[in-house]
Chains A and B, each alone.
Chain A
């Protein structure tokens, strides 16, 4: 037995509970404190939820039950069940003319979240930089940092529609840049990109020989134009790791299932980490996903049509209330600016919750530049959205009457 090692001098903790300095340095999730406050209150209309309000379509739940009844309770191959891998490959080919070999280029993961962690660990060497556009989904920066990389923020807070421009991207690239993360349609802004806009970004990525980490989990929730995967653009297939999953389109968040597709060496490296840390994604979830890909599309279409109606209602209401909000192209989030009110996102969210019992997420959860924004998820029933809109209109009229447009009806 080796003797116990002495505690590090710079640590104030007793040695047994001493933590990794990397983990200690990670800020806690910006949502946590607010979550506790919401939980302490009753009768709150929550627009703070980053998941569908629909329960998983019955045919998918029924397939899960059947799988359990038939004894599907074991491990699967690390990469994923062959049947599911083939379905994913066929689905991508059918929908996007995007081609991946099921047994070389695809890995099934426990949500896109696990896949994101895997890819960062697979590609980052100490000191490598990964460009993360902000506002960003909460897990990109921490997964880069945990993998020993440096997350380089690319702020888009003031850009039209929160879009990354080729110039802004170019400015963040250094000799240490290893990859760029892009997420579209985006959480928290709902922003997406046209083919022309993607082509312009792809040109920069190709010119600098970067890897693209493309989180397209909201692809089916595109309202104005068909979604274009980056990997379908010329010269991008071989430099893109494409992420998608079942949580959003099929309302399967609790199943925890996603997948990644990309160059064989990267996927092989991801599988190496996955086999030691996760072994495989849950088999019941994989069986459910097979049903989703085969027969889930009518359910998806119905949900998307409903999200689209809610999107128009909430954006219209926010602009009427005096909160400037761009029309998001996808996902189920509106990301209004509070500039006209002069209020800060955290204060706005807290007071709105206390006075009107509507929960939204302060923009700072998605990056340090987010103080002037809030995220409102319209994954809530139309009745709740309409009622929340009335309450927000009332709230803004009370706190920032100068923000309200003269034509806006203010209900009491």
Chain B
């Protein structure tokens, strides 16, 4: 991966001047590269990474991973049915996986009840859906490289040879 993307993926607010210095490129070159990445949707968007624990405490939302087995459609495979499912705003992420089930959804709702309703009314009733299994999220230890309850601290002395 381009070093520029590596740096931005970790801190999207890194100023162009710093990006240029870090990568040994000119500022104009960096600006042009970023514009190209945005244009071709390599960079989809810039957003803050929120601490999910704090957000959950504040908004009380319920998150669940749902395994979905589906019967693929002739000529369309999984894509058409996946699209019908991921278009629901409750579905935050949707992946097609190998293994014992086909789609894995991350669903976010206001309450347990709402998750149940979504599964019962919208998901399980889809014509090609043959089975669902819902797993409610209890605790996040690590998400996208961030360890949420880190007790690690540096033991370095402030000056050493």
Seen from chain A, the residues whose Cβ lies within 8 Å of a Cβ on chain B are 29, 31, 34-35, 38-39, 44, 46, 48-51, 53, 55, 137-139, 187, 254, 305, 309-310, 312-313, 316, 359, 361, 365, 386
- Flag if B161 contacts A31 (CB, 8 Å): yes
Interface residue stretch chosen among B18-26, B27-35, B81-89: B18-26
CA distance A137 to B21 in the complex (A): 29
- Flag if B158 contacts A39 (CB, 8 Å): yes
Chain B nearest CB from A385 CB (Å) reads: 10
Could you say which of B23, B154, B155, B158 has the most chain A C-beta atoms within 10 Å of its C-beta? B158
Q: Which residues of A contact B49 (CB under 8 A)?
A: none
A contact face: mostly helix, strand, loop, or mixed: mixed
Closest 10 CB pairs of A and B: A309-B22, A48-B159, A46-B158, A35-B159, A138-B161, A38-B158, A50-B160, A316-B21, A50-B161, A312-B21
B157 contacts A by Cβ under 8 Å: yes
Could you say which of B22, B155, B159 has the most chain A C-beta atoms within 10 Å of its C-beta? B159
Are A48 and B158 also in contact (CB < 8 A) when A305-B3, A309-B7 are? yes
Are A35 and B158 also in contact (CB < 8 A) when A309-B7, A313-B18, A313-B21 are? yes
Q: Which residues of B contact A305 (CB under 8 A)?
A: 3, 6
CA distance A50 to B7 in the complex (A): 25
Partner of B154, one of A39, A55, A313, A365: A55
B156 contacts A by Cβ under 8 Å: yes
Q: Which residues of B contact A29 (CB under 8 A)?
A: 161
- Flag if B21 contacts A38 (CB, 8 Å): no
Seen from chain B, the residues whose Cβ lies within 8 Å of a Cβ on chain A are 3, 6-7, 18, 21-24, 152, 154-161
- Flag if B160 contacts A31 (CB, 8 Å): yes
- Flag if B21 contacts A44 (CB, 8 Å): no
Q: Which residues of B contact A359 (CB under 8 A)?
A: 158-159
Could you say which of A138, A312, A386 has the most chain B C-beta atoms within 10 Å of its C-beta? A312
- Flag if A137 contacts B161 (CB, 8 Å): yes
- Flag if A49 contacts B21 (CB, 8 Å): no
CA distance A29 to B122 in the complex (A): 73
Chain A nearest CB from B136 CB (Å) reads: 29
CA distance A21 to B82 in the complex (A): 82
- Flag if A49 contacts B24 (CB, 8 Å): no
- Flag if A34 contacts B21 (CB, 8 Å): no
Q: Which residues of A contact B156 (CB under 8 A)?
A: 49, 51, 53
Q: Which residues of B contact A46 (CB under 8 A)?
A: 158-159
A-B contact pairs, 12 of them (CB 8 A): A44-B158, A46-B158, A49-B157, A53-B154, A53-B156, A305-B6, A310-B22, A312-B21, A312-B24, A313-B22, A316-B21, A359-B159
Q: Which residues of A contact B18 (CB under 8 A)?
A: 313, 386
- Flag if B160 contacts A309 (CB, 8 Å): no
Q: Which residues of A contact B3 (CB under 8 A)?
A: 305, 309
Q: Which residues of B contact A38 (CB under 8 A)?
A: 158-159
Chain A nearest CB from B7 CB (Å) reads: 7
Q: Which residues of A contact B155 (CB under 8 A)?
A: 254
CA distance A309 to B7 in the complex (A): 10
CA distance A375 to B22 in the complex (A): 20
CA distance A386 to B22 in the complex (A): 11
Nearest opposing residue in chain B for A327, CB measure: B24
- Flag if B22 contacts A35 (CB, 8 Å): no
CA distance A48 to B158 in the complex (A): 6
Chain A nearest CB from B65 CB (Å) reads: 25
CA distance A35 to B155 in the complex (A): 15
CA distance A34 to B159 in the complex (A): 8
Q: Which residues of A contact B152 (CB under 8 A)?
A: 55
CA distance A224 to B155 in the complex (A): 31
CA distance A39 to B18 in the complex (A): 31
CA distance A361 to B6 in the complex (A): 32
Chain B nearest CB from A49 CB (Å) reads: 5
Chain B nearest CB from A139 CB (Å) reads: 8
Q: Which residues of A contact B21 (CB under 8 A)?
A: 312-313, 316
Beyond known contacts A138-B161, A312-B21, A359-B159: 20 more, CB 8 A cutoff:
A31-B160, A34-B159, A35-B157, A35-B158, A35-B159, A35-B160, A39-B158, A44-B158, A46-B159, A48-B159, A49-B156, A49-B158, A50-B160, A309-B3, A312-B23, A312-B24, A313-B22, A361-B159, A365-B161, A386-B18
